[in-house]
Amino acid sequence: MKGTSGRLLELLGLLQARVEWTAPELAARLGVTDRTVRNDVTRLRELGYPVDGVRGRAGHYRLGAGAKLPPLLLDDEEAVAVAVGLRTLTGVSGFEESGSRALTKLEHVLPDRLRRRVTALRDATEAGPVNTDSNVEDPEVDAGVLAEIADAIRDHRGLRAFFGDGADDERERIEIEPYRLVAWQRRWFVVGRSPATGEWAPYRVDWLTLRLPGGRGFTPAPLPGDLTELVVREVARTGWSVHARLVIDAPAEEVLSRINPAVGVVESRPDGRSVLVTGGDSLEIVAVWIGMLGLDFTVESPAALVDRLRVLAQRYAGAVVGSAG
């Protein structure tokens, strides 16, 4: 049988792993009686951990909110999963430092066998190429700004901000009712509603400078339509550094079958062809991606994309001539 201290730690870990437990369930997991569970819960409370209890046939225990942070107890699989997740997070713009600090703290308290497992997994793993990567650096996003936006969403509090990627005097003053944060295409967006016009739109977080005090409280309005469709359509129109409008020599159904819906918006044309509105972080990225579509196309805009395609065409043609020789 486990000692009292070890059993208390295991009980605390169980309470952290699930919202509610009945006394018989805890007793079965710990291999003790219901009475021992009740005594151990009393000991945890004496140590300052807020364990709430509900009596009766539907009675249960749950870990409540308190002023004291309990030790985070993870089993082997959970510890490895968190460590791997933190290693991934350190590559996300805006979270490199905080993710690295959290990972260092976790690795310091891992048992040697788990630390060796995490190290082995790290050393044996390589990150494959990401099909939405680009030759443009990811924008820096302040984790504190994301947290402030998340708080506003939770509290139904409006946001006031300067918005845009230009100089301060060129940026737009906006006020929005924030609905959801969306991480997409290596960017963070907050989807919100303008209280003045009622219009919904996604806003790039790295283009936002929050103003204090924030906006007024609001009653959330239902989002019209689909959240993903809204983000895709608006980002395709305004969110990229380069926007392109292409006429594709194929019906919309054929184009849609070849692309991820996240890369743009496809519209049908009366002549059986279709229009693809898409974009990217640079002309090079858009030009290369269009070639991967595998369909004939004509560029409607921008004109600079035509020039970039000519450069690529000459480069590819030169590679073919060189290999033939």
Report pLDDT digits (tens) over 50-67.
888 887 666 789 888 764
Higher pLDDT, 65 or 267: 267
Task: Let me know whether 264 and 296 are in one domain.
Answer: yes
In this structure, what CATH number is given to the domain that contains residue 58? 1.10.10.10
Is 231 domain-assigned? no
What DSSP element (H or E) covers 210? strand 208-211
Neighbours of 25 (CB within 10 A): 15
Q: Are residues 252 and 313 in the same domain?
A: yes
pTM over 0.85: no
Confidence of residue 1 (pLDDT cuts 50, 70, 90): very low
pLDDT for residue 79: 78
In this structure, is residue 130 part of a structural domain?
no
Say yes or no: 307 and 253 in one domain: yes
Instruction: Give me the residue label for tokens 């890369």.
Output: 263
Considering 225, 258, 292, which residue would you say is the last residue of a domain? 225
Asked if residue 40 belongs to a domain, the reply is yes
Asked if residue 310 and residue 256 are part of one domain, the reply reads: yes
Residues 246 and 221 in one domain: no
Is the same domain home to 170 and 210? yes
Task: Please determine, for residue 322, whether its predicted confidence score (pLDDT) is greater than 50.
Answer: yes
Q: Does residue 156 carry a pLDDT above 80? A: yes
Query: Taking Cα atoms as reference points, which of 283, 242, 249 lies closest to residue 264?
Result: 242
Domain count, the chain: 4
Q: What pLDDT band is residue 127 in, cutting at 50, 70 and 90?
A: very low
Q: Of 225, 254, 282, which marks where a domain is finished?
A: 225
Residue at 137 is within a domain: no
* Amino acid 42: pLDDT: 92
Q: Lowest-pLDDT range, 93-97, 193-197, 269-273? A: 93-97
Q: Which two tokens stand for residue 175?
A: 């006020």
Q: Return the DSSP state at 95.
A: -
For 198: left if phi > 0, alpha if psi spans -120 to 50, otherwise beta; the answer is: left
> Do both 150 and 205 map to the same domain?
yes
Task: Say whether pLDDT at 220 is over 80.
Answer: yes
Is the same domain home to 85 and 150? no
251 and 200 both lie in a single domain:
no
What DSSP element (H or E) covers 11?
helix 4-17
Q: What is the mean pLDDT of the chain?
A: 80
309 shares a domain with 246:
yes
112 and 56 co-located in one domain: no
Domain-embedded: residue 264: yes
Are 80 and 59 within one domain?
A: no
Q: Per the domain annotation, does 193 fall within a domain? A: yes
How far CA 286 is from CA of 195, 245, 246, 259, 292, in Å, comes to 35, 11, 11, 13, 10
pLDDT computed for residue 128 by the predictor: 43
235: in domain: no
**Residue 186 domain-assigned?**
yes
**pLDDT-based confidence at residue 89 (cuts at 50, 70, 90):** low
Examine the fold and report which residue of 164, 197, 225 is the final residue of a domain before the chain moves on: 225
Q: What is the pLDDT of residues 274-301, one digit of tens each?
A: 999 888 878 888 898 888 889 999 999 9
Q: What is the CATH number of the domain that holds 285?
A: 3.30.70
Tokens of 178: 């924030």
Question: How would DSSP label each residue in 234-282?
Answer: HIIIIISSEEEEEEESS-HHHHHHHS-GGGEEEEE-TTS-EEEEEEESS
Give the range of the structural domain holding residue 255, as residue numbers without chain letter: 240-321
